[in-house]
Structure 1
Amino acid sequence: MNRAPGFNLSRRGLIRTGVGASLAVLGLGAGAQNASADVTATKRFDLAQPSYDLFRSKDTHGARVQQSFAFDWVNKFLFVATKRSGSAESAGDLCINKMDFDGNYLSYMHLNGFGHGVAFAALPSGSGTELWIECDANTNGYGTALAPIRYTANTTLDSPAASAAYQPISGATEYTCSVDPVYQRMIVRYHTSAGKRIAVYPLSAFETRSFGSPLVDFKQPTIAGTPQGYALYGSYMYYLTGDAYPGDGTPTGDGNSYVTSIDINTGTVKQGPVLTKAGSTLHHREPEGLAIYRTDAGEARLFIGFATGVEGDRRSSIFYKNALI
């Protein structure tokens, strides 16, 4: 893969939340189960086009695999969520790693009992960052609400109760979210008794903590493979599936990491699943996380993350696609 120069995120259309990280307010919204489609059609990423390196095999605070990642597009930092060393899978204990865009580790924050970390958002808040992340993990280790957390370096925070956080969708039992900084929206993947659903809100709903009905709300289409992350760009959702290389993690063929695009106005697959060969020579190579950002020059990019490296020393590797159609 090639590394494209000049990774600088856009300062156009920037959002400064200007709000704190209070967890003391209950945020229950009705949330229409079948909201009318209300998102203007946009271009989408061509998943068949090549991927490029952001960085490979960068160290994080802990030794376990990354789960997802998010960018603060104003303050120019990357946040990588990893599983906590020594914690059970069902505990919901996460380590949030703050990094620069070259993949250099800067600091950490430990979150106890928050969730699995499939996806989260990093919203610029003045000179700091507010993380919107699942919280109050259930017995399976998945968050049951969404919480805004002020990133505070080298500290540990226990999860708030779901009743002290935000549950925008009535009846939902699990939540994760991801931000589209270009079109200023937040996508929420949530679980119900009928399965997984997707809702999209204006980002302002999260800034004001006033959710109401989402712009769109639909049943997630059936896509084969292990779910490993999702992101939103304009009127399309992107969905990552796949597994690590089998056995000892030695690279084997092209792997089974696939990316799919979904039209959020119809809830149907637009392209894919498309095999991605990004970082195919890396050891272990487990797909982990998607994110969307735009450079200072105005180039939109779909980022794809992988947990790489050997057992006991897992690393972060991130790539991107930039061809729109």
Structure 2
Amino acid sequence: MNRTSGSPLSRRSLILTGAGASLAALGLGAGAQTASADVAVTKRFDLTQPSHDLFRSANTHGARVQQSFAFDWVNKFLFVATKRSGSPESAGDLCINKMDFDGNYLSYMHLNGFGHGVAFAALPDGSGTELWIECAANGSGYGTALAPIRYTAGTTLNSPAGSAAYRPIAGATEYTCSVDPVYRRVIVRYHTGAGKRIAVYPLSALETRNFGTPLVDFKQPAISGTPQGYTLYGSYMYFLTGDAYPGDGTPTGDGNSYVTSIDINTGTVKQGPVLTKAGSTLHHREPEGLAIYRTDAGEARLFIGFATGVEGDRRSSIFYKNVLV
């Protein structure tokens, strides 16, 4: 099996090394769609290696499934995006749950009309957190721009527009993003008339609100299965696909949750799709979200999320891989 029963991590064990360093501004114009430079080749996660538990079946503010999650690597919090209870899929209404690394729910924030929540970023902002997330949901409930918002517990925010919404790729109609806190980059997945594409920028693109020319830009390779999340580590993108257990959600077989690594310099698959059995005994078990974190000991980890639990009481379960090759 591709799962081991690791002990849950404490907050202390997940402290990031070297967090909070300042980044230089890009000072470049926006809208380019071609690669301007190659990214230095790095190690990648071996997706065939076992997965370990961060936590299982953690409660969130709402009763619906999680969509994705992101780490604030300085203030040591985890943010989980869930669908809003009582809201239709097309509305793009999200609930952002603030949690600690043991899976304890701390607070929530409601976002009206933002998007589907496939992926987002949680940037340290002093003692708080700035979320970079899709906004201005279209009629299908997917965000048509990116926006920075400060997480504010217990509040409801309507989707921004105008100068508060960012569209770094000319002609793109949908956006999501995720952050690599180790190599300090942001990956943007965007939609065009020709399909999905991927662009990678320095993290300063978010910090300065100036995206400039992407480091790389390529067409997303064809990967079968239902897309459920993505993230970036070094020179490799990681892509999650799969579905919940069928029927009433009772665990059956190995499921169909797969993780694939993609070389961002070539835009081609490096490893996978690789079946993951992390949390295979959990009810429902729908793959939902990927994120990167590094411990204070310098260990990089690829985190894999699942929506678990019974209908009307969905829970968050998160695992990780930590073997680099």
TM-score (norm 1): 0.95
> Which residue pairs with 1:319 in the alignment?
319
- Structure 1 86/162 Cα, relative in aligned 2: closer, same or farther at 3 Å? farther
Find out whether 1:208 has 2:211 as its counterpart.
no
Aligned to 2:207, the other structure's residue is in SS state helix
> Which residue pairs with 1:66 in the alignment?
66
> Which residue pairs with 1:130 in the alignment?
130
- Structure 1 93/142 Cα, relative in aligned 2: closer, same or farther at 3 Å? same
Find out whether 1:8 has 2:11 as its counterpart.
no
Contact 1:144 1:162 in 2 (8 A): no
- Which shows bigger deviation, 3-12 or 44-53? 3-12
> Which residue pairs with 1:24 in the alignment?
none
After TM superposition, list the pairs within 5 Å mapping 1:21-60 onto structure 2. 30-60=30-60
> Which residue pairs with 1:199 in the alignment?
199
Where structure 2 has 5 or more consecutive residues not aligned to the other structure, the ranges are none
Give the superposition deviation at 1:210.
Answer: 1.2
What is the rounded CA distance, in whole Å, between the counterparts of 2:116 and 2:205 in structure 1? 24
> Which residue pairs with 2:288 in the alignment?
288
Contact 1:32 1:217 in 2 (8 A): no
**Number of aligned residue pairs:** 317
Q: Deviations over 1:20-78 (max 9, x none)?
A: xxxxxxxx954332214421000000000000000000000000000000000000000
What is the rounded CA distance, in whole Å, between the counterparts of 1:177 and 1:236 in structure 2? 15
Contact 1:259 1:274 in 2 (8 A): yes
Q: Deviations over 1:231-259 (max 9, x none)?
A: 00000000000000000000010100000
Aligned to 1:205, the other structure's residue is in SS state helix
What is the rounded CA distance, in whole Å, between the counterparts of 2:167 and 2:22 in structure 1? 23
- Which shows bigger deviation, 205-214 or 88-97? 205-214
Q: Which runs of 4+ in 1 moved over 6 A?
A: none
Contact 2:30 2:210 in 1 (8 A): no
Find out whether 1:94 has 2:94 as its counterpart.
yes
Aligned to 1:167, the other structure's residue is in SS state coil
- % of aligned pairs identical? 85
Alpha-carbon RMSD: 1.7
What is the rounded CA distance, in whole Å, between the counterparts of 1:291 and 1:123 in structure 2? 13
Q: Deviations over 1:88-138 (max 9, x none)?
A: 000000000000000000000000000000000000000000000000000
Contact 2:19 2:74 in 1 (8 A): no
What is the rounded CA distance, in whole Å, between the counterparts of 1:13 and 1:298 in structure 2? 11
Give the superposition deviation at 1:10.
Answer: 1.2
Contact 2:19 2:73 in 1 (8 A): no
Where structure 1 has 5 or more consecutive residues not aligned to the other structure, the ranges are 18-27
The AA in structure 2 aligned to 1:80 is V
What is the rounded CA distance, in whole Å, between the counterparts of 2:261 and 2:93 in structure 1? 30
TM-score (norm 2): 0.95
- Which shows bigger deviation, 31-40 or 135-144? 31-40
